[in-house]
Structure 1
Amino acid sequence: MQQNEKMFEEIYQAFLRTYRNQATRTDTANYLSSVYAMYKPSTYMRYLDSFLHMMDGTQFASVVPINLSVYLLQCIERDFGVSALQQALLAEKQHIQYYYDVCGSASKGLRTALQALASQHDLQIVFSTPY
Structure 2
Amino acid sequence: MTQMGLSLLTDFALPAGDPFWFLGGRTRVLVPGSATGSTMSVLEFDEVQGQAPPLHIHEGEEEVWIVSPRLRMVAVFAPAGIEEWFRKNGSPVSSPEEAPASFDIGAIVASAEAFQLRVAGPPPTA
Query: What's the TM-score, normalizing by structure 1?
Result: 0.26
Normalized per residue, which structure has more helix?
1
The structure with the largest strand share of the pair is: 2
